[in-house]
Amino acid sequence: MLDYVDGLQAAYASAGCSGSKPIGKAEQKMINKNNNNSINANISSYNSRFDNKGDHNSSYQNLGYGNSGSENQGNNNSGDGNKGNANSGHGNKGDCNSGNWNTGDNNSGFENKGDYNSGHSNTGNSNSGNKNEGDGNSGHANVGDRNTGNQNHTSNSTGYFNTKEQNVTMFNKITKFTRNELLEKHPIINKVELFNKRQWEQWFLNNPNEVQQIQEIPNFDPEIFKQITGLHIQEKEQ
């Protein structure tokens, strides 16, 4: 198809004409016929609507391939007005967004600047809350990371209007460590903090040398630990 259009333009130029040759109805029909387009003004193949620059688009004014939405610049979008690929939402700049007006990837919320947000109007990643500036917040309007409370300007807070990071509670008692201090002193926590009971059982069978590290974490309580993990580990002998 491009050869046909280029040939028309070359012949137009060789005749001493300036600018681009207007494409008439007969010529446009030939362009679409040669490229299996069902409607006019496509600059590619297998399009069922008009003004596409790409292949296999079923809607309008796409610059890309396989779009069922309209006015996209990218591929495989089912939403409209996206600049990216595989978006089912609208007005996104990025890939794989199911929400709208996001700048980033894999957002299911709206108006986020970042990735993997299910909340709205966040600047950061993996937020399920709204209007946060940071990552991993499930609360709202926080400036920081991993807050479950609201209006905090710190990280790892579960309350409201805090500016200092709180010490971590373990086994129903407060420790003297913040989250980062705790993970630095007891790295075993970072390894096991997302385990379910099956994973705990596998860990216990395969890593007996790490049991002592669990016994040494702050406020260790064997009864609470068994209730949560299903494992019976005694307190470390003093």
Q: For all residues of the chain together, what is the average pLDDT?
A: 83
Calculate what percentage of the chain has a pLDDT beyond 90: 59
| Alpha-carbon distances of 148 from 124, 135, 167, 187, 190, rounded to whole Å | 15, 11, 14, 23, 19
pLDDT at 8: 42
pLDDT at 236: 72
State the DSSP code for 173: E
Predicted confidence band of residue 33 (pLDDT cuts 50, 70, 90):
very low
pLDDT at 122: 95
* Residue found by looking up tokens 């016929």 in the block: 33
pLDDT at 152: 94
Predicted confidence band of residue 68 (pLDDT cuts 50, 70, 90):
confident
- Residue 91: what are its φ and ψ, rounded to 5°? 65, 25
pLDDT at 235: 78
Spatial CA neighbour of 116 closest among 101, 96, 133 = 96
Q: Dihedral (C-alpha) 204, 208, 209, 213: value to the nearest 10 degrees?
A: 40
Predicted confidence band of residue 60 (pLDDT cuts 50, 70, 90):
confident
State the DSSP code for 50: S
Say whether pLDDT at 37 is over 70.
no
Residue type, 73: Q
Say whether pLDDT at 12 is over 50.
no
Calculate what percentage of the chain has a pLDDT beyond 70: 78
Average pLDDT over every residue of 104-112: 95
Supply the pTM of this predicted model. 0.67
Domain ranges (residues) in the chain: 2-34, 177-229
* Residue found by looking up tokens 């296999």 in the block: 56
Using a 10 angstrom Cβ sphere, with 0-12 exposed, 13-18 middle and 19 or more buried, the burial of residue 15 is: exposed
Least confident span in 16-20, 84-88, 150-154: 16-20
Say whether pLDDT at 179 is over 70.
yes
Contacts of 29 (CB under 8 A, 6+ apart): 40
47 against 104, higher pLDDT: 104
- Indicate the pairing of strand 173-174 with strand 169-170: antiparallel
Say whether pLDDT at 151 is over 90.
yes
pLDDT at 148: 93
Average pLDDT over every residue of 32-44: 54
Q: Dihedral (C-alpha) 17, 23, 24, 28: value to the nearest 10 degrees?
A: 150
pLDDT at 3: 47
- Residue 181: what are its φ and ψ, rounded to 5°? -65, -40
